Amino acid sequence: MAKVDGLSGCLASVLQLPFANDSIPFLTSMCVLEHIGLGRYGDKLNPNGTDKAVHEISRVITPGGIVVYSVPIGRFITEFNAHRRFTYEKASILFTDWDLIDSVALIPYPTSFSSNDDLMNTYNDPVGCFYVPKPKSD
């Protein structure tokens, strides 16, 4: 357990966060959303697991607050029970009606590619990292 002044931790599920509505100004979800609902980590099987997690995160973010998240990108596929992989287009709009501020593709392994198609179809999928603010009128 790391101890940092002004910071406290808690154990919780992304499907049932222990925070009030509109109470968190900034949240990161790095390499989590793609696993929800696939049973790999003891969670119940749910084909809409990612959407449910996004809904719960959306509930706790303050209007104008920021979410930074990452998911694998490439061809859309569910690799049971490992993870879902999203097209860039789908990954960039997981938080429906939120505006994308920025995104970047990170390649997790040193690999060379001869084309963008090779990049998007390789087994060592890139990870997309997205920055989105919750609309203030939400």
Q: pLDDT band for 129, please (50, 70, 90 cuts).
A: confident
CATH of the domain at 32: 3.40.50.150
What is the DSSP code (8-state) at residue 113?
-
Closest CA to 66 of 32, 29, 38: 29
pLDDT tens digits along 81-116: 889 999 888 998 999 888 888 887 665 544 444 445
HSE (side-chain half, CA atoms, 13 Å) at 136: 1
Residue 29 lies in a domain: yes
Q: How far is residue 5's CA from residue 82's CA, in Å, rounded to a whole number?
A: 36
Q: Residue 117: which domain range? A: 24-133
Q: Is the pLDDT of residue 66 over 80?
A: yes
Q: How far is residue 72's CA from residue 19's CA, in Å, rounded to a whole number?
A: 27
**pTM to 2 decimals?**
0.80
Residue 75 lies in a domain: yes
